[in-house]
């Protein structure tokens, strides 16, 4: 009987030992460090805002591809700044004294006067000559073209092509229109290089400027002087 009780005690003790072995903690690593090994994330993404792993070891971050710069390049965008371009020098203007033709206060005859024009090219030269026909500082010299508007002027192959606008109050009688056409022709044909004058009114060829004198297309020295 005592033997049976002894065997039963030994069996119970073995069961307790076996049960206790199942609850023992996992054996520590051989190096005695309970921390997890350091985590190196080559892509720079660990899914957390902390720079340490769960075990407390510091995580070594890798360089971000966006922050990587090429050697010798201090800026991501190295576009050179634009350089200012120099403006071409303006052409030097010339001066020339010319004859300009007006009429007397009674509109009886042409009156010759002197004027100085300033120009850098032929277009400016003849435009300035026309402006001289439009004004006078002498009360005895009445401009015949003062109210006529010069819309445009070109010079090519010896011909002046001019487009004018004639307001209603610029209308003259037969004598005034005849002197106006003579004054224009004499002023322009004093330049040897001018061979003809083509005058348009608001872009159109007209038979007469004011309805009294025929307007030649083009005007030349032979048919206008």
* Per-residue pLDDT at 38: 45
* Per-residue pLDDT at 165: 98
* Per-residue pLDDT at 185: 97
- The strand ranges marked E within the chain are 40-41, 60-61, 94-103, 110-119, 149-156, 159-165, 196-201, 219-220
The sign of the dihedral angle between the CA atoms of 151, 199, 147, 138 is positive
Consecutive 10-residue averages of pLDDT for the chain (225 residues): 55 59 48 45 45 46 48 54 65 93 96 97 97 96 97 97 96 95 97 98 96 96 89
* Per-residue pLDDT at 54: 47
* Per-residue pLDDT at 161: 98
Q: Is the peptide bond before 96 cis (omega within 30 degrees of 0)?
A: no
* Per-residue pLDDT at 143: 97
What is the reported pTM?
A: 0.61
């Amino acid at each position: 009987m005592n033997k049976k009780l002894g065997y039963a005690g030994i069996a119970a003790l073995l069961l307790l030992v076996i049960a206790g072995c199942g609850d023992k903690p996992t054996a520590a690593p051989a190096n005695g460090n309970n921390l997890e090994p350091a985590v190196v994330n080559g892509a720079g993404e660990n899914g957390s805002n902390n720079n340490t792993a769960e075990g407390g070891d510091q995580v070594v971050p890798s360089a971000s591809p966006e922050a990587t710069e090429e050697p010798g390049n201090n800026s991501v965008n190295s576009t050179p700044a634009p350089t200012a371009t120099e403006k071409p020098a303006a052409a030097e203007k010339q001066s020339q004294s010319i004859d300009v033709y007006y009429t007397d206060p009674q509109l009886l005859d042409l009156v010759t006067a002197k004027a100085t024009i300033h120009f850098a090219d032929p277009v400016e030269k003849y435009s300035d000559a026309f402006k001289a026909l439009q004004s006078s500082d002498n009360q005895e010299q009445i401009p015949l073209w003062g109210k006529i508007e010069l819309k445009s002027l070109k010079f090519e192959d010896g011909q002046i092509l001019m487009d004018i606008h004639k307001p209603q109050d610029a209308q003259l009688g037969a004598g005034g229109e005849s002197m106006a056409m003579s004054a224009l022709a004499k002023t322009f044909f004093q330049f040897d290089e001018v061979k003809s004058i083509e005058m348009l009114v608001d872009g159109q060829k007209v038979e007469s400027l004011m309805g009294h004198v025929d307007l030649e297309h083009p005007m030349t020295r032979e048919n206008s002087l």
